[in-house]
A and B are shown apart, each in its own frame.
Chain A
Amino acid sequence: MNRTPKRDRGIRAFRFWRRDIGAEVDDEIAFHVDARADELVAGGMSRDTARARALAEFGDVDRARRTLRHLDETHARQAARRELFTDLWQDVRVAARSLARAPGFVAVVTLTLALGIGLNSAVYSIVDAFLFRPLAVPYGKELVVLAQTDAALSAPHEMSYPNYLDFRRDTAVFGDLAAYANDNVNLSGAHGAQRIFVQDVTANFFATLGMRPAIGRLFQPGDDDGELAHPYIVLTHAFWMSRFGGDPSAIGDTIRINNHPVTIIGVTPAGFEGTDGLLAADGFTPINQTWPSYGASLRDRGNSGFNVIGRLRPGLSLGAARAAVAAKSAALEREYPASNRDVTMRLVPETRARPNVAISGNVPVIAAAFMSLVLLVLVVASANVASLLLARTTARLREQAIRSALGAGRWRLARHAIIECLLLALAGGAGALVLANIAVRALTKVRVAADVPLRWRIAVDERVMAFTLAIVVATALIAALAPLLATRRTNLTDLLKAGGRGISGGHQRFRTVLVVAQLSVCVTVVVCAALFARSAVNASRIDPGFRTDHILIATTQLGTQGYDSVLGAQFEREIERRVATLPGVRSVSLARYTPFGYNNDIEFVLPEAPAAQIPDNGVGAFNNIVTPSYFATMRIPIVEGRGFEERDDASAPKVAMITRAMAKRIWPGQSAVGKRFRVTKDGPVMEIVGVTADIQYFSLGETPKPFLFRPYSQWYRSSFTLVVHTSVDPASLSAAVRGAVASLDPTLPLFDVRSFDEHIRSGRAMLGTRIGAAFSEVFGGLALLLAAVGLYGLLSYAVAQRTREIGIRVALGAHTGTVLRLVVRQGLIMSATGAAIGLAITFGVTRLLTALLFGVAPHDPVILGGVVAILLTVGVVASMLPALRAARVDPVTALRAE
C-alpha cells in the first residue's frame, strides 16, 4: 500500500467516479456495519441483534450515504476538470514551443489572418454603427421612428406637425413622441461668426430619449409654447468644447442665432450628437422659438417636414403598435381628406431607420453584400492558412505517426492541431484589431467637400471585439479542419512504413484551382487600382475651360441673417470691393454656383427665334449668376461680343452670356450676340451680349454642354460664393477674406472656405474616383498578398510531399539549380495561368469603370503589362522560399525515411 504520487490521484478519482461512486460508498458502510456486528457476535450476541445494534450505533445510514456520495462526486468532478485544464495548458505550451521554432511560418499565417479578420472587423464596425448599435442615450434600445408615405413619395419620410401632434396625443400607442427638424443657422457672438447645424426639437425631445444634462438644463414642458417666446439653445458636449473651450460659465450667456439673441441653457452629455443618421448636431433649439419662426407651416397638415422619434407605451409590441398606427392613419385620412389622402404612417425601429428612414430599407441588403464579400476574403485567407498548415503537417507526418504509435490518441493529436490554429488565429485577431483600428480611423477622417459635420459613430469597441473573437474561433476551426481531415484519411501506421507518402491528390487539385482563381482576381483588382491611380493623376491635368489654380472660394448666406435685397446688394458690392484691395488678391468676383459643387440650378432657355430645332420647353442648361469680373478671375475667354459691365444694372435691359456650346445648339452657323430669349414663359426677355469659350461644369472631363451666365446686378441672390484669384497660396488668404467679411458684418459666418484645387480634389467631381481608388488599392494589396501566401503554401506543401523524390534526384546528381527550377517553374505556370484568366476578366470589368476614369483607357497596355509583370514577380518570390528549401534537401536524411 504505497502512497500514490499526487498527479495520479486525480486520474484515479476520475476512474473512481466512472466506476460508480455509489457502490464504493455502500461497500465501505457495509464493511463497517459487518465488522461491528462480527465483534458483537464474538462477544456472545445473536447475529440478528448484533446487526441491529451495529446499524443503530452507526447512526443515520441513508444520510451518511448521501453525504459521502455528494462529497466524492463533487471531488471527482473537480479533479477531472483540473486534469483537463492541466492537459490543455500543457498542449498550449507544446503548441507555442513548436510554433516558436517556425517564426517565418507564424509571421505569414498571422499576417494573412490579421488582414482577413481585420477587414471583417472594420466592415463589421461600420455595419454595427448603421444597423445594430442603439443611440447612446438611456432609452436607445426602445426608440422607434414614425414616418409618412404618401402619393408623392412612397419611401417613408418626414411628417407634418399637426399629424405628429395627433399621434403624440394617442397615449395608447406612444409612451412619448418627439419631433425635430434639421437646420443650418448662423451663430455669432463673442467668438466670431460660424454656421452651425442644429436640430429644432419639441420640448419633450430629451425626455423621450431619457437624457439628463451634462450641465445646465435641457428643455422642459412649455419651452416650445408660442412663437419666438423661448429663445434657448442646448449645446452638444463636442460643440461646447470646441467653441467655448468647455467653459461652464458659458451657460446663461447670450449668443446670436441668425442675428437674434438666444440664451445657452445647457449641454448634453459627451458622445451625444443628435438623432440625425449622418450629420453631427452642434446644438438644439426648441421648435419655433428661434428666428425665423416656422409660422403657418406648423399648422399646415400638408407640410411634411418633421422627423418623429419616440418610445412605445411599455408592454406594447411593435406589431400591435403598427396596427394601431395604421388604424390612426386611416382615421386621420377620413378626417382630413384634403391633406391626408393616401398618407400612411409607418413605424420603424430607430436602428432600422438609418442613416435616414427614406433609404434605410436598403441598408441591410448593402450590409449583407459587404459582409459576404469580406467573409469570402476571409474564407480564401483561411484556405491559404489551411494550405500552409497542411504543408507543415505533411512535413511532420512522421513525427505524428511516431506520437500516435507511442499512444497519443487521435483526439489528442487533433486537439494539438486545433490549439495550434487557435494560437495563430488569436495572434491574427490581435493584429486584426490593430488593422481595423487604423482602417476605421482613416474612414472617420473622410471629409466631404462641404462644411457639414459628418458623423461617423464608428469605433472598434467591445462589440466589434466580441465579433472579432467569434471570427477568430471560427477561423481557427476552419483552418485546423483541413489538415485534420487529411491526416484522418491517412492510416498513420501505413504512413510510418511508407516514410511520408500517401496524401491523396484530390485536395491538391482543388487547392491549385483556388490559388489560380486568387491570382486571376488579383489581376483584375490590381488593374482597377492602377487605373484609378492614373485617373487621379490625370484629373489634375484636365483643362475644365477655366483656371483652378490660385483660386480661393468662400460661401455665405445673407438671407437667414435678415438682409433684404437692397441691403444684400449693397453688401455684395461692398465685400467685392474690400476683398479686391487685400494684398495678394489679383481679382475677385461673386458667383451663385461653383463648378463641380453640390448646389446647382438648371434653367430652360426659350429663344425668341431659334435657328435649330429645339424642344417645346426649351434647352435645359446649367447656369450661374456672376459679377462682371468673374470671367477674368476664372480666366474664361470671351470669344464674341462683350462681358458683363457696370452699366448692366437693375434698371438697364436684361443681358446674358452663353457658352459656345449653347450658341451652337440654338443658333448654329450664326452669331448668337444680339439674340434674345427667356427662361420662363412669362419671364423677362434677355439679350445675349457675349459668348464665352466652353467650360466643364457638372463632372470633370465631360463634353461641354450649353451653359448660361446672368449678372448679379440684375438677378439678386442672397447667397454667394466669393471667387478670389490670388498671387499667393490661396489657402493663406482665407483668414484675410474672413476678416474682410467680419469687418462688414461680424455676425455673418463664412463657410466652405477652400482653394479650388482642394474643392476639386475632395469634392463631388472626384468622389467616385477617390472611393474607387481607395477600395481597389486596399483590396488590390490584400488580393496580392493573399495570392502570394496561397501560392507559397501550395508550393511548400508540394515540396514537403516530394522531399523523398527530390532527395533521390539530388542523390542521382541533380544540381541545386535544377531543383530550384523544378519548384519555381510550377509557381510560374500557375502565375501565368492566373494572369491569363485575370486579363480576360479584366476586359469585361474595366469597361464598366469608364465613367470614373480620366485620360486612361480601360485596357491601357502599360498598366496591363505592368500588372502581369507584378504577378509573375510575385509568383517567383512566393516560389523562392519553398524552392530554396527543396534545394537544401539532404539526400541522406530524405532517403533514411525509408
Chain B
Amino acid sequence: MADADLDLLQGTLDVMILKSLSWGPMHGFGIAKWIRQTTDGVLQIEDSALYPALHRLAHRGLVDADWALTENNRRAKYYTLTTKGRQQLRSRVQAWEKYSAAVAQVVRATTAPA
C-alpha cells in the first residue's frame, strides 16, 4: 500500500473513531462494534489496527483515556472526546463531505471531456 493510501485510510479511521465517541465515552471494543455495525461490515477494520489509532489520538490530545467499570462490572479503558477532538471531528467531517461530493460528481458525470 502506498503512503498516500495509508494516510487516507488512517485519516478515515481517525474520523470514524472520533465520530463514534461523539455520543459519549466508549471503550475500544464498543468503538470497533459501532463501526462494524454502522458500515454493515463493509469496512473490515482489524481490531489490532484500531488500538494504535486510538492511542495516537490520545497522545495528540484529541481523546482522553481513563479506566472505568462497565455495566457488567468489568474494568475497561474508556475514551472521551476532548474539546480539541470535537473541533477536529467537525473540520474533518466537512472536508470529507466536500471530498466525497466531488468524487461522486465525477463518477456520475454524463458529459465527455471537451
Interface residues of A (CB under 8 A from B): 1, 3-4, 6, 9, 24, 27-29, 31-32, 34-36, 39, 57-61, 63-64, 67-68, 71-72, 75
- For B30, give the chain A residue with the smallest CB separation: A35
Decide if B51 is an interface residue (CB 8 Å cutoff). yes
Choose the segment among B7-15, B73-81, B89-97, B105-113 that binds chain A (4+ C-beta atoms closer than 8 Å): B73-81
Instruction: For the complex formed, measure the closest distance between the CB of B48 and the CB atoms of chain A, giving whole angstroms.
Output: 3
List chain B residues, Cβ under 8 A from A9: 61, 64
Instruction: For the complex formed, measure the closest distance between the CB of A440 and the CB atoms of chain B, giving whole angstroms.
Output: 52
Counted as pairs of residues, one from A and one from B, with CB atoms less than 8 Å apart, the total is 69
Instruction: For the complex formed, measure the closest distance between the CB of A667 and the CB atoms of chain B, giving whole angstroms.
Output: 106
Residues B52 and A64 in contact, CB atoms below 8 Å apart: yes
Decide if B98 is an interface residue (CB 8 Å cutoff). no
* Chain A, interface SS category: helix
Residues A3 and B27 in contact, CB atoms below 8 Å apart: no
List chain B residues, Cβ under 8 A from A28: 28, 51, 76-77
Assembled-state Cα–Cα distance A35/B56 (Å): 23
Instruction: For the complex formed, measure the closest distance between the CB of A64 and the CB atoms of chain B, giving whole angstroms.
Output: 4
- For A12, give the chain B residue with the smallest CB separation: B66
Q: Known: A4-B64, A28-B77, A36-B29. Is A71-B47 also a contact (CB below 8 A)? A: no
Assembled-state Cα–Cα distance A75/B56 (Å): 9
- For A13, give the chain B residue with the smallest CB separation: B59
Q: Which 5 pairs of residues, A with B, have the shortest CB-CB distance?
A: A59-B48, A64-B48, A59-B46, A35-B29, A75-B59
Residues A71 and B77 in contact, CB atoms below 8 Å apart: no
Residues A1 and B78 in contact, CB atoms below 8 Å apart: yes
Residues B77 and A31 in contact, CB atoms below 8 Å apart: yes
Assembled-state Cα–Cα distance A148/B110 (Å): 99
Chain B interface size range? 20 to 34
List chain B residues, Cβ under 8 A from A63: 48
Interface residues of B (CB under 8 A from A): 25, 27-29, 32-33, 46-49, 51-52, 55-56, 59, 61, 64, 66, 68, 74-78, 80, 82-83
Residues B48 and A61 in contact, CB atoms below 8 Å apart: yes
List chain B residues, Cβ under 8 A from A60: 48
Assembled-state Cα–Cα distance A248/B78 (Å): 79
List chain A residues, Cβ under 8 A from B66: 1, 4
Assembled-state Cα–Cα distance A371/B6 (Å): 63
Partner of B32, one of A27, A32, A72: A32
Instruction: For the complex formed, measure the closest distance between the CB of B77 and the CB atoms of chain A, giving whole angstroms.
Output: 5
Instruction: For the complex formed, measure the closest distance between the CB of B32 and the CB atoms of chain A, giving whole angstroms.
Output: 7
Residues A3 and B52 in contact, CB atoms below 8 Å apart: no
Assembled-state Cα–Cα distance A1/B82 (Å): 12
- For A31, give the chain B residue with the smallest CB separation: B76
Assembled-state Cα–Cα distance A28/B31 (Å): 13
List chain B residues, Cβ under 8 A from A29: 51
List chain B residues, Cβ under 8 A from A32: 27-29, 32, 47, 51
Residues A71 and B48 in contact, CB atoms below 8 Å apart: no
Residues A68 and B61 in contact, CB atoms below 8 Å apart: no
Partner of B75, one of A31, A36, A61, A75: A31
Residues B56 and A71 in contact, CB atoms below 8 Å apart: yes
List chain A residues, Cβ under 8 A from B77: 24, 27-28, 31
Assembled-state Cα–Cα distance A187/B32 (Å): 93
Residues B55 and A72 in contact, CB atoms below 8 Å apart: yes
List chain A residues, Cβ under 8 A from B78: 1
Residues A68 and B25 in contact, CB atoms below 8 Å apart: no
Assembled-state Cα–Cα distance A57/B51 (Å): 14
List chain A residues, Cβ under 8 A from B59: 71, 75
Assembled-state Cα–Cα distance A3/B84 (Å): 11
Partner of B47, one of A4, A6, A27, A57: A57
- For B83, give the chain A residue with the smallest CB separation: A3
Assembled-state Cα–Cα distance A120/B76 (Å): 63
- For A72, give the chain B residue with the smallest CB separation: B55
Assembled-state Cα–Cα distance A57/B36 (Å): 12
- Can you list 30 pairs linking A and B with CB atoms under 8 Å apart? A1-B25, A1-B78, A3-B83, A4-B64, A4-B66, A24-B77, A27-B75, A29-B51, A31-B27, A31-B76, A32-B29, A32-B47, A34-B74, A35-B29, A35-B76, A39-B33, A57-B47, A58-B46, A58-B47, A58-B48, A59-B47, A59-B48, A60-B48, A64-B51, A64-B52, A67-B51, A71-B52, A71-B55, A71-B59, A72-B55
Extra contacts besides A1-B66, A1-B68, A31-B74 (20): CB < 8 Å: A1-B25, A1-B80, A3-B64, A3-B83, A24-B77, A28-B77, A31-B27, A31-B75, A31-B77, A32-B27, A32-B28, A32-B51, A35-B76, A58-B46, A59-B46, A59-B47, A59-B49, A64-B51, A71-B55, A72-B55
Most chain B CB atoms below 10 A, which of A24, A29, A35, A36: A35
- For B68, give the chain A residue with the smallest CB separation: A1
Residues B51 and A68 in contact, CB atoms below 8 Å apart: yes
Instruction: For the complex formed, measure the closest distance between the CB of A9 and the CB atoms of chain B, giving whole angstroms.
Output: 7
List chain A residues, Cβ under 8 A from B64: 3-4, 9
Assembled-state Cα–Cα distance A4/B77 (Å): 15
List chain B residues, Cβ under 8 A from A64: 47-48, 51-52
Instruction: For the complex formed, measure the closest distance between the CB of A494 and the CB atoms of chain B, giving whole angstroms.
Output: 43
Residues B29 and A68 in contact, CB atoms below 8 Å apart: no
- For B52, give the chain A residue with the smallest CB separation: A67
List chain A residues, Cβ under 8 A from B46: 58-59
Assembled-state Cα–Cα distance A31/B67 (Å): 12
